A and B are shown apart, each in its own frame.
Chain A
């Protein structure tokens, strides 16, 4: 399904696997652990209306998403970073919900990649 292909970039992951070798699993687990933390940070920043914290967490999350190869989540983080930077937190709850959802999908798909 095209939906799944957009959530994770399989060719990027294949390249990472080649680079990381036996550390590939550790990398994915680290990414998922860190990401869970980032999602919480984003959610709380949104709830408290702290646009700077939101922007910072989303920026950092975006970077690691790009490196791991999860484009949909990276794109959503970019949106959140921009909203935070501009201080326009309107509709941020919907965006946070989308990030939650996408992270859920990514977690599921990445765990399938673990050996």
Chain B
């Protein structure tokens, strides 16, 4: 870099001095442009764009000070070193050179070695300056780009997460607007049954990697909660998704609760977050410690969903937080810590002010300390069912009204289809589109499974369930089943399903008819009339599940009615 030839402007009104300097600089391999005074120097600077300027201080027309000022102006952000040529020696004159924008002096007589050293040094500085500026520009550009990307990501995330009910009357929360880039996620959603799911997550890492994981969590959380899935189903799905998409070492500490206002209880799953708190109106404080690994760590088959369950009375409060609260630091680098946190519960006797007291204490503690934007905290209060204040509004109205509630279908399976096709997943899928019915998927599955297998095995295949009572009979039963399935040709099973809205829930009617000869169901009728249990055909269970259950015709037709209502006492 030192040997790189440079264009150097020499401005000096003294001919002999200029000749000497020009000769020296040329000998060092640089290209020289000369000027005889300040005005000339400005002109030459504009037309030739030299890298370094050697400038006499005293010149006619325009002196070196003025010329230096103008050149610095013209150069803008570019560093053009100006070295003053001077036989001035008093401090005041030298200071004037620097004030005018000069970078150094060279005194007469010119010393070749010193001049060369200065040119090299200033060239290094010039190159460094240029590198610095281009890096600065690059950084500024990257930063703009990053902010723009974050804005987009935030918009997308907000669109995904906005469905929530964080603004419900019984929820208080603290969450930075850019929390998603701190890895903090706070989601709340009312369930079709009227309860509420609240999820607080804290991802490892910051920035986009943390935000990327938050998107599917929000999507799954809202999607599944709206469809009536249980909390443990939501957690299992989130865990599996995160495990699948996050790189090793990335995971999400989380606490999720399912609060039922109707039953007055809360179910808690907590993995990796600081202990949560259940604070009762009477002052009892229950700490709930993490007993799971964070989400996204364990493979689906090793993930477990044991939960804690607590009864809650109106006025009881549930608190969750990320470690940002406990690890908030003051100016001395001390952490807020759990002791100070629990002290607030001792000091603040009015439980409705606890949330703001904790917030205030943390902020007071941080003081002038570094304020991270990752203070995330939520309080969910138990209220009576009619106080939730959004039973008929928000997402619930949307999800409850949208979707099929009034419909009927008939599905007939014939011949070979009966042998190798299981209609249950398909039918269940259709039935579960009824908003809110998913909560009863277990019962619906049981009814549908029993009725269709009865129709196939006893109706169409004419297998005797009595066979299954002995081990040998059991084997024979299945051998016969396989054999007769092979011979199926014109036989059929017809499943008719009908759903009608009924109050906030509905009535699901299932009718299954088969091509078989039917059976004598008088025993069943008799037992039913005498309030006795009728055994066989898995029927006892069905009669308890269904509002109405009956065989008709020759016994090849069975009718069942399942009436359901959203979560009740």
Q: Which residues of the other chain, B, contact A59 by a CB distance below 8 angstroms?
A: 58, 87
* Contact call A34/B15, Cβ cutoff below 8 A: yes
Q: Complex Cα distance A63/B253, Å?
A: 77
Interface size on B, residues (CB 8 A): 16
* Contact call B17/A63, Cβ cutoff below 8 A: yes
> 4 shortest A-B CB distances, which residue pairs?
A31-B16, A63-B87, A66-B108, A67-B109
Q: Closest B-chain residue to A24, C-beta based?
A: B23
Q: Closest A-chain residue to B14, C-beta based?
A: A64
Task: Assess whether A12 is interfacial by the CB under 8 Å rule.
Answer: yes
* Contact call B19/A23, Cβ cutoff below 8 A: yes
Residue of B13, B16, B19 most packed against chain A (CB within 10 A): B16
Say how far B96's CB is from chain A's closest CB, in angstroms.
Answer: 14
Q: Which residues of the other chain, A, contact B23 by a CB distance below 8 angstroms?
A: 19-21, 23, 27
Contact among A12, A23, A30 for B109, CB-based, below 8 A: A12
Question: Which residues in window 59-90 of A have CB below 8 A to B?
Answer: 59-60, 62-64, 66-69
Q: Which residues of the other chain, B, contact A34 by a CB distance below 8 angstroms?
A: 14-16
Task: Assess whether A113 is interfacial by the CB under 8 Å rule.
Answer: no
Q: Which residues of the other chain, A, contact B407 by a CB distance below 8 angstroms?
A: none
* Contact call B17/A19, Cβ cutoff below 8 A: no
Q: Closest A-chain residue to B87, C-beta based?
A: A63
- Known interface pairs A56-B58, A59-B87, A63-B87; A19-B109 also in contact (CB < 8 Å): no
B binding-site residues for A, Cβ under 8 Å: 13-17, 19-20, 23-24, 27, 58, 87, 108-110, 112
Q: Closest B-chain residue to A19, C-beta based?
A: B23
* Contact call B112/A67, Cβ cutoff below 8 A: no
**For this complex, into which size category does the number of interface residues on chain A fall?**
20 to 34
Q: Which residues of the other chain, A, contact B14 by a CB distance below 8 angstroms?
A: 34, 60, 63-64
* Contact call A67/B15, Cβ cutoff below 8 A: no
The secondary structure that dominates the A interface is helix
Say how far B190's CB is from chain A's closest CB, in angstroms.
Answer: 89
Q: Closest B-chain residue to A77, C-beta based?
A: B87
Say how far B128's CB is from chain A's closest CB, in angstroms.
Answer: 30
* Contact call A67/B108, Cβ cutoff below 8 A: yes
- Known interface pairs A19-B23, A20-B19, A20-B23; A67-B58 also in contact (CB < 8 Å): no
Q: Which residues of the other chain, B, contact A16 by a CB distance below 8 angstroms?
A: 20
Residue of B14, B27, B112 most packed against chain A (CB within 10 A): B14
Q: Which residues of the other chain, B, contact A56 by a CB distance below 8 angstroms?
A: 58
Q: Complex Cα distance A34/B108, Å?
A: 17
Query: Mind listing 10 A-B residue pairs with CB under 8 Å?
Result: A19-B23, A19-B27, A20-B20, A26-B19, A59-B87, A60-B14, A62-B87, A64-B14, A67-B109, A68-B20
* Contact call B112/A19, Cβ cutoff below 8 A: yes
Q: Complex Cα distance A59/B16, Å?
A: 14
Say how far A60's CB is from chain B's closest CB, in angstroms.
Answer: 6
Say how far A19's CB is from chain B's closest CB, in angstroms.
Answer: 5
Contact among B27, B108, B112 for A63, CB-based, below 8 A: B108
Q: Complex Cα distance A27/B108, Å?
A: 16
